[in-house]
A = this chain, B = another copy of it.
Amino acid sequence: MDLEALRLTLALADLGSITAAAARLGLSKSRASQRLQALEQELGVHLFTRTTRAVRPTPDGEHLIQRARPLLAEADELAALFQGPRHLKGKIRVDLPTAFARTAVIPKLPELLALHPQLELELSTSDRRVDLLREGVDCVLRIGPLHESSLTAIRLGILTMANCVSPAYALRYGLPRDLGDLAQHWIVHYSPTLTKEEPAFEHLEGDFISQLPMRSLLTVNSIDAYRAACYAGLGIIQVPRYGAAEDLAAGRLIEVLPAHPAAPMPISIVHPHGRQVPRRVRVFMTWLATLVEPLVS
């Protein structure tokens, strides 16, 4: 069963003539007749009684028509979803992780805004969980595991992790050679909610995630503070490799225990719109995804 056949059926019901229906759909009346017969044979029922003067639906035809009409309307709407005006307009409210916004998104923003001059963007950066619905945000980029909710999540990929220390730290404490050395080392404790979790070194043990408890000098709840603590030589941090790559190359950070990275972090877009996503938001999300793509494995 194909949509074109249904379209023909509806045109036929509306116009009451194969010739007219064929003309509306832009095909020859021979073909229209053929397709109708093919559909009837496929379904095993007669859909229209045909005299030379009128084409009238049978009861079966009538039922097909009644159910096909909303179906086709929905299909057309779906097709129309992806073609609209060339330029976007309106306001989009977005929330991004601080570091990611600064390094990956904001530098590319001028291109997007130049493409869509009527677009207004309201970009907040935070690492805390944002109540999308309450704050009226259109979409957020989330790094880390997702908590299931009524929101729609789209996984963009995963970020591989790296364990890093600063040269100042290496000078004072040395570099760990294996997991056993970690008992003599310090980790910077990242705890978004500042709750009671114990500081630990997370690493992959085959396919499983292990937590190795460690000493910690400092607990922080923001990514910026996390990295700043590392620069200051306060301990090991575990961060996405993409964000550390530049610092590693420049020698501002040193990777340790490369054989024991933390579990890779999923990176996702989350949005509160159900399936009726405004076009401008959809396009923005697509654009965001293209920015993320080169960073993920």
Contact = CB atoms under 8 A, between A and B. Distances in A.
A46 B79 CA distance: 14
Contacts of A78: 1, 64, 67-68, 71
B66 A275 contact: yes
A56 interface: yes
A155 to B, nearest CB: 7
Contact of A63 (B75, B81, B156): B81
Contacts of A82: 43-45, 60, 64
Nearest to A78: B67
A275 B2 CA distance: 20
B275 A49 contact: no
A289 interface: yes
Interface string A48-80: 010000001111101110111001001100110
B59 A282 contact: yes
Chain B CB within 10 Å, residue with most, of A43, A45, A58: A58
Nearest to A71: B74
A155 B67 contact: no
Nearest to A269: B59
Contacts of A81: 63-64, 67
A45 B67 CA distance: 30
A97 interface: no
Interface size class of A (residues with CB under 8 A): 35 or more
A87 to B, nearest CB: 14
Nearest to A60: B286
Contacts of A154: 57-59, 62
A285 B269 CA distance: 52
A49 B3 contact: no
Nearest to A157: B56
A43 B78 CA distance: 10
Interface string A275-286: 101000010011
A287 to B, nearest CB: 9
Given A59-B286, A81-B67, A293 B49 contact: yes
A83 interface: yes
A152 interface: yes
Given A56-B157, A154-B57, A43 B289 contact: no
10 contacts: A43-B79, A56-B155, A57-B154, A58-B154, A58-B286, A59-B269, A59-B285, A59-B289, A63-B275, A64-B78
Interface of A: 1-4, 43-46, 49, 56-60, 62-64, 66-68, 71, 74-75, 78-79, 81-83, 152, 154-157, 269, 275, 277, 282, 285-286, 288-289, 293
Identify the 4 closest CB pairs spanning chains A and B, nearest first: A59-B285, A43-B82, A62-B154, A1-B79
